[in-house]
Structure 1
Amino acid sequence: MARRSNPRVEPLTGPRGGRRRDRRGRGFRGPVAVPGPLSPRGVPGGWDHGSQFDTAVLGALARLRPSHAAALAELDVAVEDVPVLPRRWRDDVPLGTVVPDHERARVVLFRHPIQHRAETRADLDDLVLSVLVDQLATLWRCEPEDIDPRA
């Protein structure tokens, strides 16, 4: 009796079809997904949210610096993750605050509340600029349009 091969069995050579490496919905794994020492060259490193926010703050300051360089040189701009609020706080979470000081005033932007309200990177840039202009207007006692008419 002749032995017949099973026509459904395929050789194990070549790429497998179907959803590879996305079992259980966890996404791709390994050097293709995460930059590292085993990654091919040209795979960009991911930016964390802190770096994106810091870049947005620096961009907003660069946009305001040509017209307000002397005034901006007299203050500090700081970034905090979240504001410290009393337990029974009922108002909206502040996006920034001004800390007037005798030597140097400080404008503080709160990263998490601002990032929570921004959906895209462009929204983040616009919101950071808007909050910064509002805080500077409070500090300098002027209208936000006087600082940046585009804001």
Structure 2
Amino acid sequence: MTSRSETFDDLVLDAVERVERRVGQGIGDIEFAVELVPPSDPTPFEPERVPLSRLFPAERGVPARIVLFRRPIETRVEDPRDLAVTVNDIVVEQIAAALGVEPTTLDPGYQGDLDL
């Protein structure tokens, strides 16, 4: 039996692989991680609600890093069947932000309604 954590990790990997197939190796050296919850010290530019993910831009030889926060994402998704679409949209949004492109450039099926 697969744990919720493993299932979530698989959803993230699937979303990243879909983007990579569309754009080739154009996403560069972006690293991806999943954490249970965000740290308790939000960045000044983050909204007051709990973030679903965070992009750490590349700097001084350190690649960009995208972190998805599993529990806040699971909590905001009303129907568990929507989890895969939500994870995909978050991954697409963050990769697009890292690359400076529109999300629909990376995924024409991007829904973009993450104000959950």
TM bucket normalised to smaller: 0.7 to 0.9
Residues 27-65 of structure 1, C-alpha deviation per residue, up to 9 Å, x if partnerless? xxxxxxxxxxxxxxxxxx3x2210110111111112111
Query: What stretches of structure 2 of length at least 5 have no aligned partner?
Result: 111-116
Question: What residue in structure 2 maps to residue 70 of structure 1?
Answer: 25
* Percent identity for Structure 1 against Structure 2: 33
**What is aligned with 2:4?**
49
Partner of residue 97, structure 1: 54
Alignment-derived partner of residue 27 in structure 1: none
Cα separation, partners in 2 of 1:59 and 1:122, compared to 1, 3 Å: farther
Between the aligned partners of 1:135 and 1:144, the Cα distance in structure 2 is 8
Q: CA–CA distance in 1 between the matches of 2:70 and 2:96?
A: 20
Larger relative contact order (Cα-Cα within 8 Å, sequence gap ≥ 6): 2
**Secondary structure of the residue that 1:82 maps to in structure 2?**
coil
Bigger-Rg structure (1/2) = 1
CA change 1:62–1:92 in 2 (3 A) is: same
**What is the aligned partner in structure 2 of residue 123 from structure 1?**
82
| Alignment partners' CA distance in 2, 1:90 and 1:118 | 18
Correspondence 1:143 to 2:102? yes
Which structure carries more helix by proportion?
2
1:68: how far off?
A: 2.1
Q: Distance in 2 between matches of 1:59 and 1:113?
A: 19
TM-score (norm 2): 0.79
Q: Distance in 2 between matches of 1:52 and 1:90?
A: 28
Question: How many residues matched?
Answer: 105
Aligned-pair distance for 1:74? 1.5
TM-score by length of 1: 0.62
Distance 1:116 1:71, change over 3 A: same
Question: What displacement does 1:121 show?
Answer: 4.3
- How far 1:101 sits from its partner (Å)? 2.3
Shift of 1:73: 4.2
